[in-house]
């Protein structure tokens, strides 16, 4: 199954946007899948439904952070990963107009900032644009990692 389909299936199973993106790369990451799910569990809804940074975008950062080479000192490591993640998040923002969950969902009715996850119903999946954001984030990340020879298609 390709990575975009894996991300889509994870989201349809009820995982949040960050979890869907990171699980699309679970076979490429040197971390147990259950731990990946736990690490990414608070990043849905723009970080615990605060509607800040999109969970799919957070997933990009998590995947790149786990797969990056260590350069030997903290300052260089941060600079390196920030540069790579910014390149990909710039692509996401160009495609979707924002990096913020609240802005990406601004035309959705009944979007709340409370901490209770929305019930996953057929209507939820039919009206929620999050699938597009998950697929975009997964593709951007995959294209980058394949281009750099870090993973294979």
What are 75-100's pLDDT values in tens digits? 988 999 999 999 999 999 999 999 99
pLDDT value at residue 51 = 94
pLDDT value at residue 103 = 95
Count the alpha carbons within 13 Å of 117 in the hemisphere toward its beta carbon.
13
Write down the H helix ranges in 13-129: 17-24, 33-39, 55-67, 74-96, 101-104, 122-127
CA 10, CA 112: separation in Å to the nearest integer? 22
Residues of the chain under the 70 pLDDT cut: 1
CA 58, CA 63: separation in Å to the nearest integer? 9
- pTM assigned to the model: 0.94
pLDDT value at residue 1 = 67
């Amino acid at each position: 199954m390709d990575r975009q389909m894996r991300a889509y299936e994870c989201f349809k199973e009820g995982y949040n946007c960050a979890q869907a993106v990171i699980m699309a790369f679970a076979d490429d990451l040197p971390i147990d899948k259950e731990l990946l799910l736990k690490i990414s569990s608070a990043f849905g809804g723009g970080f615990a439904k605060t509607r800040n940074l999109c969970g799919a975008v957070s997933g990009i950062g998590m995947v790149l952070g786990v797969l990056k080479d260590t350069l030997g000192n903290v300052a260089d490591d941060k600079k390196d990963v920030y540069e790579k993640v910014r390149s990909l998040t710039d692509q996401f923002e160009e495609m979707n107009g924002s990096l913020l969950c609240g802005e990406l969902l601004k035309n959705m009715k009944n979007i709340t900032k409370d901490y209770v996850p929305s019930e996953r119903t057929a209507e939820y999946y039919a009206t929620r644009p999050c699938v597009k954001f998950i697929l975009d984030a997964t593709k951007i990340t995959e294209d980058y990692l394949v281009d750099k020879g870090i993973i294979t298609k």
